[in-house]
Amino acid sequence: MYSLKSFIIVALVCTSLTVSSLDTARLLVSKQVLNKLLVQDSDILVKYTIYNVGSVPATNVILQDSGFPAEAFATVKGNLNIRFNRIPSGANVTHAVVIKPLTYGRFNFSAAVVQYKSSENAEEPQFAISSEPGEGYIISYAEYDKKFSPHLLDWFAFAVMSLPAVVAPFMLWWVSKSKYELILKQKREKVSKD
């Protein structure tokens, strides 16, 4: 009987804690690098999505991403630090930033941090950390150009170098054909005169 009473008390306490924690905003944050190839001096699109899975709106939401140092990346469009006044319950917000890598090599794309208030009257801010895209390799533009350019100059050089190997036998055949056609024509004319 004593264990049944203690079980009921523990269950009521857990239920009350669960109910009180349900009246808050909970943010899930996703960070994605959308490019398949990361190339030096070419635009990279980074997408942030913030989902509010709580039962109340999140207020004073601040997204901060310090994972792109100024000496290695230039921000082309968008802002790496942005503020949203309110994210309603069950809603999501998407933010995109275009950056340009200034160097090449391996780079660890770290997580962004989101600070928010979990309810209208909350005094202490809550923090959420985004997913990490992980490590990526930024290839140099010269390497990218070598792999993916149409190589028009290379094909032109190949055509110029292979032209003598094709034209010389054709010319020999043409001269020989013309010579024998002339002889055949002369024989036909001679036969037709007789």
Pairing type for strands 81-87 and 134-139 reads: unpaired
Q: How confident is the model at residue 10 (pLDDT cuts 50, 70, 90)?
A: low
51: pLDDT strictly greater than 90? yes
Residue type, 88: P
Average pLDDT of the chain is 86
How do the domains of the chain map onto residue ranges? 22-148, 150-193
> How far apart are alpha carbons 194 and 191 in whole angstroms?
5
Check if the beta carbon of residue 109 is closer than 8 Å to that of residue 133: yes
- When pLDDT is cut at 50, 70 and 90, the band that residue 1 belongs to is very low
Strands 126-129 and 113-117, sheet pairing = antiparallel
Comparing C-alpha atoms, which of 125, 113, 111 is closest to residue 59?
A: 125
Most confident by average pLDDT, 40-49, 121-130, 141-150: 40-49
**pLDDT bracket for residue 194 (50, 70, 90):** low
What is the homologous superfamily of the domain 22-148 according to CATH?
Answer: Immunoglobulins (2.60.40.10)
Query: Does pTM top 0.85 for this prediction?
Result: no
pLDDT digits (tens, 9 = 90+) for 123-147: 889 999 998 888 889 999 888 888 8
Quick one: pLDDT at residue 183?
86
6, pLDDT greater than 60: no
